[in-house]
Chains A and B, each alone.
Chain A
């Protein structure tokens, strides 16, 4: 192993080194006057092409990704992205279209976006869809902003509260606050459903709406959703659907039919577009009849002459407005479009069928291997929760320990310590694309960790052992994170590239 293994590309820099050592250097004449030229060289690394290739190849080999290992974070982080989506979204006609190109030059793009809106309407049961939001959080903001616009337009401005169950994603209360509402939290009952009595007590003339994820973050389907919809609507509030868990019900149940007035869909989750590292994403929103006038612009509409155009403020005078300079992340939207066209109606049903089959199989196998499910009496949706409460107490084996030790077995950890209301939990989502062999391998690794915890907890506590980096000091990482490279400087404060031999 090279001693340069963990070095930054800046640390590989050597004065005067360039991409191709043997080729003659070009000295381009410059027309820039001397007084406008910079005095010192920019702080960029000087390295050979081969050094750069090796450096970045090694870095990429450290990736623990869905392309290399099983990744039970599921659609919460990233599903498998079929390669066809990528190649087709890169067709030059799409790739080279300028966002300011007139509609007459963009009919192909507009047509695909219109069809994407239509397919999303169909699969969610909503009346209209806008692709403008650039991420899930922006989709949520858009949805609640429309709820607010609806109440305001009716002069119903006494509605100050958004109800959020305690099992909700943290983004839900954050969104409500960003839209100027107060959050009223209601508890979840023991089987994982919303506590209806608490909901009935919470609703009133102050209720603007409720934000729900169904299936919820505890991995079960909210069985009394129709009743919830009636309670909230009767109180004058609207229902917001957080589409984070849409993967479980795709083609089976539609949020529009459940009574939701607005929904955001994370296309980068359910519809398999890239979404590592925080983006780019897409938080498309769907609306019911009540919220149609407030939809964000632009979105694609028919132009009445057999073609398509972007709807603007003129078409939607009551719109909540624009969310970004253009109309969403075009590249992400195209990938979602290709994915949906490949699956079709039938394939989309198979996505939710296999996602739930895999989750339920994994849940039962882990239960047989000695793990406790948080909601053992409930059928899992596309994900389920294991609680290590017992193991933490008896063996000192925490969810965090299992997460670290799994890495040694070649598996990425599931989501840990979320949702907050289940102690020592692992939220496991295998997704529809994993085979039985992969799931069995994961169960074996989990069983091996449980067995090891009974005889050698110290090895687990010190894990991971087989990765380039060992267990981090998480407190220091949160409190004293320092990722800024300090460039070496000479006595005059000028950048001082390293000299000497490469390691």
Chain B
């Protein structure tokens, strides 16, 4: 069974969101998502300064099986991309919630966070999908 830390928020499309103390958020894909994708060989994260819209494709993860879009959980401006992933995309497989984060952003409307799922709701969503 895949993990889903309690302190994160989740989307139906298997992204996670962590609220940081400075008001920014960190975004990645869930353990369940990396399991489905298999070993990643390439990650394309949005560049710092890019503005993204909630629900739109903003990053790409490519595994030995398939290339998939990552959807922005919130609208706002990207402040930093995880540059480690360019050389080590496997970090997403090894540590999806920690070292394998994809990008950080400043949300334009923090209330969008309320629409995301908590860990229990996400676990139920994964269960219903499988």
Closest to B64 in A: A474
A396 contacts chain B at the CB level, 8 A cutoff = no
Binary interface encoding of chain B residues 77-91 relative to chain A, with 1 for a CB under 8 A from any of its CBs, else 0 = 000000000000110
A417 contacts chain B at the CB level, 8 A cutoff = yes
Interface size class of A (residues with CB under 8 A): 10 to 19
Closest to A417 in B: B65
Docked pose: A400 CA to B65 CA in angstroms:
9
Whether A393 pairs with B64 at a CB distance below 8 angstroms is no
Residues of A within 8 A of B2 (CB): none
Residues of A within 8 A of B38 (CB): 400
A420 contacts chain B at the CB level, 8 A cutoff = yes
B window 15-49: CB within 8 A of A: 36, 38-39, 41-42
B66 contacts chain A at the CB level, 8 A cutoff = yes
B39 in complex: contacting residue of A389, A420, A475, CB < 8 Å: A475
Binary interface encoding of chain A residues 414-429 relative to chain B, with 1 for a CB under 8 A from any of its CBs, else 0 = 0011101001000000
Nearest Cβ in chain A — how far from B10, in angstroms?
A: 19
A483 contacts chain B at the CB level, 8 A cutoff = no
Q: A475-B39, A475-B41, A478-B41 are in contact. Are A389 and B64 (CB under 8 A)?
A: no
Whether A423 pairs with B64 at a CB distance below 8 angstroms is no
Whether B130 pairs with A475 at a CB distance below 8 angstroms is no
- A–B complex contacts, Cβ < 8 Å, 9 sampled: A389-B130, A400-B38, A400-B65, A416-B65, A418-B66, A420-B66, A474-B39, A478-B41, A478-B64
Binary interface encoding of chain B residues 90-130 relative to chain A, with 1 for a CB under 8 A from any of its CBs, else 0 = 10000000000000000000000000000000000000001
Whether A393 pairs with B66 at a CB distance below 8 angstroms is no
A479 contacts chain B at the CB level, 8 A cutoff = yes
Q: State the main secondary structure of chain B at its contact with A.
A: loop
Q: State the main secondary structure of chain A at its contact with B.
A: helix
Closest to B129 in A: A423
Docked pose: A331 CA to B52 CA in angstroms:
49
Whether A393 pairs with B130 at a CB distance below 8 angstroms is yes
A479 in complex: contacting residue of B36, B41, B130, CB < 8 Å: B41
Docked pose: A50 CA to B114 CA in angstroms:
74
Whether A423 pairs with B36 at a CB distance below 8 angstroms is yes
Docked pose: A400 CA to B45 CA in angstroms:
27
Q: A389-B130, A423-B36 are in contact. Are A475 and B64 (CB under 8 A)?
A: yes
Nearest Cβ in chain B — how far from A67, in angstroms?
A: 28
Residues of B within 8 A of A420 (CB): 66, 68
Nearest Cβ in chain B — how far from A177, in angstroms?
A: 13
Nearest Cβ in chain B — how far from A242, in angstroms?
A: 19
B window 55-86: CB within 8 A of A: 64-66, 68
